[in-house]
Each structure stands twice: as structure tokens, then as C-alpha cells.
């Protein structure tokens, strides 16, 4: 039986993965897989947008001064990728 977790738990696990990712490609895969998984589970679009916004906010809340250089770069890259994903999602809605 599959374990059901909240979107908050899912987001926290995603951020943990981002922090320890070895490459930017891994970060991008994690982010795209999270969005794809939610869509496959038919999570409503506004909840996906909130998930993205909350993830961005959580990344901004992490003090970069307390992180090593690799984690700082991972956080910055993830924020930029999430902004791109968000823009893409919004553009997709305009064309529907």
C-alpha cells in the first residue's frame, strides 16, 4: 500500500534533495519529476502553483550564509528553474 504524504512533506523532501544534489541536471530532474507526479495524480493546477510558490519561498528562507558553496549554487539554480517552470505553467493556461 502506498504511503500518502502531504504536499508540505513532499515539498520538504524535494528541498532536501535539492540541497544534496550533485549536479544541476539532477535538480532539474527532481523538479520536473515532482510536477509531473502531481499532474499524473491529478492534483489541481492551483495547488501545483501553490506548491511551486511555497517551494520558492522555502528556498529563499534558507540562509545562504549557513550553506557551503555547492548548496548555495543548488538553491540559486533551483529557484531559477522553479521560476521558469512557473512561467511555463502560466503560459500553458493562457493557451488553453
What is the per-residue pLDDT across 51-81, written as a single tens digit (0 to 9) for each?
999 999 999 999 988 999 999 999 999 999 9
pTM for the structure as a whole: 0.87
Question: Which one is predicted more confidently, 80 or 92?
Answer: 80
Contacts of 13 (CB under 8 A, 6+ apart): 5
pLDDT at 1 over 50: no
Contacts of 77 (CB under 8 A, 6+ apart): 24, 27
Amino acid at each position: 500500500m502506498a504511503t500518502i504524504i502531504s504536499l508540505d512533506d513532499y515539498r520538504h523532501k524535494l528541498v532536501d534533495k535539492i540541497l544534496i544534489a550533485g549536479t544541476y541536471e539532477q535538480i532539474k530532474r527532481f523538479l520536473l519529476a515532482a510536477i509531473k507526479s502531481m499532474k499524473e495524480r491529478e492534483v489541481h493546477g492551483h495547488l501545483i502553483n501553490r506548491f511551486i510558490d511555497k517551494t520558492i519561498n522555502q528556498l529563499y528562507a534558507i540562509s545562504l550564509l549557513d550553506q557551503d558553496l555547492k548548496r548555495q549554487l543548488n538553491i540559486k539554480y533551483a529557484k531559477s528553474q522553479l521560476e521558469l517552470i512557473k512561467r511555463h505553467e502560466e503560459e500553458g493556461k493562457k493557451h488553453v
